[in-house]
Structure 1
Amino acid sequence: MEVKTDRRIAKTREAIFQAFISLIGEKNFESITINEIADRANVNRGTIYFHYSDKYDLLDKCMEEYLSKMSTVSTATGQDGETVDLLESSLMPIIRYFQEHHAFYLSMLSNQGIPSFRKRMLEIVTASIATHVDMEDQNQGYSKELVTQFMASAFVGVIEWWILSEMSQPPEEISTQLWGLLKRNQVIR
C-alpha cells in the first residue's frame, strides 16, 4: 500500500525547493546558506533540517526529483498497461518538459558550483540513447559506446545551449531539428 505524503509536508518541501532554486539562479551554490533558504521559503532552519541533512542533501534530492521526471516524461503507459517509449514518435514531450521547468534547468546549468548536475543529466541521456541507437547501416563499424557518447553529449549540449540562450528558438523547431539529427544518426528509427 502506497503511503501518501501529508499536503502540508509536500507544500513545505515545494517551498524549500523553490527557494533553493531561486537562490541558485542568483548566486553560487557554495555561498548559499541554510538561513537564506529558510528565509526565502518562509520556514525556520529546523524545518529544513527536518527534511534534509544539509544543503548538499537538498541539492541531491532536488536534482534527483527533476532528473527523474526528465527520464519518465519520455515514457507513457499504454491502454494495455505496457510502457510506451515516446521517443519512438516525438521529442516534443521532453522538449516541453524542459520548457516548463526552464527556471530549474537554467539555474542548475548556469551555476558553476554544480558541475555534478550536467554529469548526472548526461548519464541519464546516455542510458536512454544506448537503448535506441541502431548500429546497422551508417553506424556499422563504429563502436556503440562511442556513438552513444557522441549523440548523448550532442543532445545534452543542444538542450543546455537552448536553455542558456533563454530558449531562443521555439520548442517545436528544437524538437523537429533534434529529431532529424537523431534519426539521421540512427539513434531513432
Structure 2
Amino acid sequence: MDRRVVKSRQAIRDAFVALMKEKDFDHITVQDITDRANVSRKTFYLHFLDKYDLLDRVIEDAIREMDEFGQCVCDLDWVPATEQCFQYLADRYDFFGTMLTQAGAPYFRRRYVESCMTSFREEIRKVVGRHPLPEEDAILQFVVHAYVGTVEWWLQQGMPYSPKVMADRVGRMLEAVYAQLPSLRQPVHAGENSPTSLAQLEAGA
C-alpha cells in the first residue's frame, strides 16, 4: 500500500481518537476530523464511508490487535499474564482511556466485554475441560464484569497503580476464582420451598 495512503489513514484515525477525548461522538463531524487530521474531505471519503464507518473500523482493529496480544500471553500464569495485559493498556492509555471512559463509544465497551468473555471462557475450558460448568454463564458474567469494571476504574483514575501492582491484586484474585472452578461442577438444587424464579416469587407474594 502507498505510504501516503497509510499516512493519511492513520492521521484520520489519530485525529478521530483525539477528538473523542474532547467531545461526544454524536457531536463530532467529518469536518472536525478532516480539519484536525489536515486532510481534505475527499481524502476522508476515500478511506471511510462516514464517521460511523470510521468508528467501527477503529474499534474492530483495536479488538483484533488486543485479541492477538491475548493469544501471546494466554499460556502465562495469571499474575504475569495480567501484568502484561495492564501494561498493554498503559502503553495505549490515550486510546483505551478515551474509548473505555468516553460516553460516546459504548459500542467499544460491548466489544471489549465480548472479547473478554471469549478469553475467560477459554481459560475455564483449560481448568474444567470441554464440558460447560453448571450456570457457567453466571460465573462468566461475574468474572468478566469484575475485570472490565476494574480496568475502567483504573483508566478513569489515571492509572493510580502500576501494572505490576494491579497484576498482583487482580491476577491473584482471578487465580483464586479459577482454582475454585472444579468445586462448582455440581449444579445448585433449590429446595422445594425456595422460590427460584420471578414468577414463583410473585406467586408467593
TM-score, structure 2 as length reference: 0.79
> Alpha-carbon deviation of 1:25?
0.2
Question: 1:130 touches 1:148 (CA, 8 Å); kept in 2?
Answer: yes
1:106–1:163 contact (8 Å) kept in structure 2: yes
Segments of 5+ residues of structure 2 without an aligned counterpart are 182-205
Further displaced range: 165-174 or 8-17: 8-17
Change (3 A) 1:49 1:131: same
CA contact (8 A) 1:74 1:86 kept: no
Q: For the residues of structure 2 that align with 1:41 and 1:60, how far apart are their CA atoms? A: 18
Alignment of 1:84-95 (within 5 A): 85-88=74-77, 90-95=81-86
Give the CA deviation at 1:86: 3.9
Give percent identity, aligned residues only.
33
Distance in 2 between residues matched to 1:18 and 1:187, nearest whole Å: 42
Aligned: 1:49 with 2:40: no
2:166 to 153, 163, 174: 174
The structure that has the greater radius of gyration is 2
- Amino acid in the other structure paired with 1:46: K
2:88 counterpart residue number: 97
| Cα deviations by residue, 1:108-164 (Å, 9 ceiling, x for unpaired) | 12221221111110000001100112359xxx9751111111101111111111111
Q: Say if 2:36 is the partner of 1:40.
A: yes
User: What is the aligned length?
Assistant: 175
- Name the Cα RMSD after superposition: 2.2
Q: Which residue is equivalent to 1:69?
A: 65
How far apart in 2 are the matches of 1:131 and 1:176?
Answer: 22
Displacement after TM superposition at 1:177 (Å): 1.3
In structure 2, the CA distance between the partners of 1:62 and 1:141, relative to structure 1 (3 Å rule), is closer
Q: Tell me if the contact between 1:98 and 1:105 (Cα under 8 Å) persists in the aligned partners.
A: yes
* CA separation of 1:141 and 1:66: change in aligned 2, threshold 3 A: closer
Kept after mapping to 2: 8 A contact 1:75/1:85: yes
- Counterpart Cα distance in 2 of 1:7 and 1:54: 22
Separation (CA, whole Å) in 1 of partners of 2:149 and 2:136 = 20
Q: Structure 1 regions of 5+ residues with no counterpart?
A: 77-83
Q: Partner residue of 1:80? A: none
Contact 2:74 2:81 in 1 (8 A): no
Out of 133, 137, 140, the residue aligned to residue 145 of structure 1 is: 137
Please tell me whether the aligned partners of residues 73 and 93 of structure 1 are also in contact (alpha carbons under 8 angstroms): no
